[in-house]
């Protein structure tokens, strides 16, 4: 999955990443079944690793999801995290800040949602909204955005030093794929609740968002909090890639189960 990782301060160009990439797999029933089988095996590993993370109690995992509208953030959470224990996993969503939140620094409301040790936290949109939406709509200028990039990097480094592993996913879809998904929502009565007229308005800023995403990923993908550009036109492949990266991140933590209580010998223990 290294080819999807953005490396800090490199000549990164978003257009070099194809939203329709599906690796070695093709968009047919046979390959779909193979990908689903591989994904299910990864989800089994994820379940085991989450249990070990909780028992170990020394580290935590923060997953950041960003995308254009209809990019698949909710679907990724639903399909990739379907087997984890909800007691050790929490999703936080960040919309426009309330007046009270806006009266604080832009990271204030986000820090409160960082997962405690032993847990997995998922940000469905995140602190990056404050350098994406704000930049596209002219709420902040480029200089302010650059200051915020540095503040984000320093904040994420602090989390890393305190035992939080961070992985950040940009779910990359094409403009045509977004159009198809918006049309599907408009046609299906069961999806009407998902449809927002604001999505059509934001779609007009597609090119600006692509540029700002490119700048943001380039400036904030670090060794301790890397960004991954996930090809997301094919949901089945998206799920496989995200699951693999999360499993790798948990395995890299070198987790272990704690020792048994002192004075207990399970070899000789007899329970009447």
Dig out the tokens for 17 from the structure.
């990443």
Average pLDDT taken over every residue of the chain: 95
For the chain, domains (ranges, CATH) are 2-251 (3.40.50.300)
Q: What count of residues does the chain have?
A: 272
- pLDDT of 210 strictly over 90: yes
Cβ atoms 209, 136 nearer than 8 A:
yes
DSSP state, 213?
H
Nearest to 59 by CA among 50, 68, 70, 67: 50
Nearest to 67 by CA among 243, 241, 231, 240: 231
Q: What percent of the chain has pLDDT over 70?
A: 100
Tell the residue number behind the tokens 């997995």, with chain if given.
Answer: 120
Structure confidence at residue 94 as a pLDDT band (50, 70, 90): very high
């Amino acid at each position: 999955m290294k080819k999807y990782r953005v490396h800090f301060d490199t000549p990164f160009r978003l257009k070099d990443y194809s939203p329709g990439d599906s690796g070695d797999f093709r968009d047919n029933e046979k390959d779909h079944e193979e990908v689903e089988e591989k994904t299910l095996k990864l989800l089994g590993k994820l379940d085991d690793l989450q249990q070990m993370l909780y028992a170990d109690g020394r580290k935590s995992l923060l997953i950041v999801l960003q995308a254009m509208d209809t990019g698949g953030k909710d679907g990724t959470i639903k399909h990739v995290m379907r087997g984890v224990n909800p007691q050790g996993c929490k999703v936080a969503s960040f919309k426009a800040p309330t007046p009270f939140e806006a009266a604080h620094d832009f990271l204030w409301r986000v820090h409160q949602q960082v997962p405690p040790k032993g847990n997995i936290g998922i940000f469905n949109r995140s602190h990056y909204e404050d350098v994406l939406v704000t930049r596209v709509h002219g709420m902040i200028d480029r200089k302010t955005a650059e200051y915020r990039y540095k503040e984000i990097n320093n904040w994420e480094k602090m989390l890393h030093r305190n035992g939080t592993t961070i992985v950040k996913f940009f779910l990359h879809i094409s403009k045509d794929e977004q159009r198809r998904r918006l049309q599907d929502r408009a046609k299906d009565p069961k999806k009407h609740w998902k449809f927002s007229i604001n999505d059509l308005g934001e779609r007009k800023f597609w090119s600006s968002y692509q540029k700002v995403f490119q700048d943001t990923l380039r400036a904030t993908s670090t060794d301790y909090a890397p960004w991954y550009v996930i090809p997301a036109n094919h949901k089945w492949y998206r799920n496989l890639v995200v699951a693999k990266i999360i499993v790798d991140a948990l395995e890299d933590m070198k987790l272990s189960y704690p020792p048994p209580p002192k004075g207990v010998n399970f070899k000789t223990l007899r329970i009447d």
